[in-house]
Amino acid sequence: MTDPFSGAGEPELIAASELAGVPDEFQRLWTPHRMAYIQAGPEPLRLDCPFDAAPQMSDEDGLIVARGKTAYVLLNLFPYNSGHLLVCPYRHVGLYDEATREEVDEIAALTQTGMRVLREVSKCDGFNIGMNQGRVAGAGVEGHLHQHIVPRWATDANFFPIIARTKALPQLLGDVRRAIADAWSI
């Protein structure tokens, strides 16, 4: 058998059974737990949206750190890192291109302020900012637009979430909310 990966001329057609055990130079990270997500199919629309409910609560109960005219900022209940903020319009709208100009402008302004406040309060080194639009893009709540502001530190990258399925968060949500809300109003 000739080496099908040698690149010399046209590759020879080889039965798959003959390739068993031939290395392909890829490293693999097996994640069988993801099959439940992949096979689940489309999620039904949520009748109770957490981003519709949060503004109806007190700031403490809703984890809200700032309220604007058309949008507000709250802590993520399931944060990637301490201080992980979400910027949401009050209006129940699912996609960025469906937001009004006023909503887009306020989401942008609140995002900028959120970055400044997080930099001051948490001394973070950088940010991941973005929106997951649609279930296939990773949106956990796909029916209500929300922008993530995730503070990052040079020391926060590790394999703990992968090998232990655990995320270490050094601060409690209530303490983080209070510190950010206090700094926001200064």
Q: Could you say which of 33, 92, 144, 146 is catalytic? A: 146
Let me know if residue 13 belongs to a domain: no
pLDDT of 157 above 90: no
What was the pLDDT predicted at 9?
A: 62
Let me know if residue 109 belongs to a domain: yes
What was the pLDDT predicted at 46?
A: 47
CA distance 99 to 106: 11
What was the pLDDT predicted at 167?
A: 67
Residue range of the domain that includes 69: 50-184
Q: How far is CA 59 from the centre of its chain?
A: 22
Let me know if residue 40 belongs to a domain: no
Length of the chain: 186
Number of domains in the chain: 1
What was the pLDDT predicted at 45?
A: 42
pLDDT of 11 above 90: no
CA distance 162 to 160: 5
Q: Answer whether 73's CB lies under 8 Å from 62's CB.
A: no
Q: What pTM was estimated for this model as a whole?
A: 0.69
CATH code for the domain of 180: 3.30.428.10
Let me know if residue 113 belongs to a domain: yes
The pair phi, psi for residue 160, each rounded to 5°, is -55, -45
- Per-residue pLDDT, averaged over 151-180, amounts to 74
Q: Answer whether 116's CB lies under 8 Å from 166's CB.
A: no
* Residue pLDDT, tens place only, 25-34: 666 666 676 6
Strands 85-89 and 147-152: antiparallel
Let me know if residue 132 belongs to a domain: yes
144: annotated active-site residue: no
CA distance 34 to 159: 17
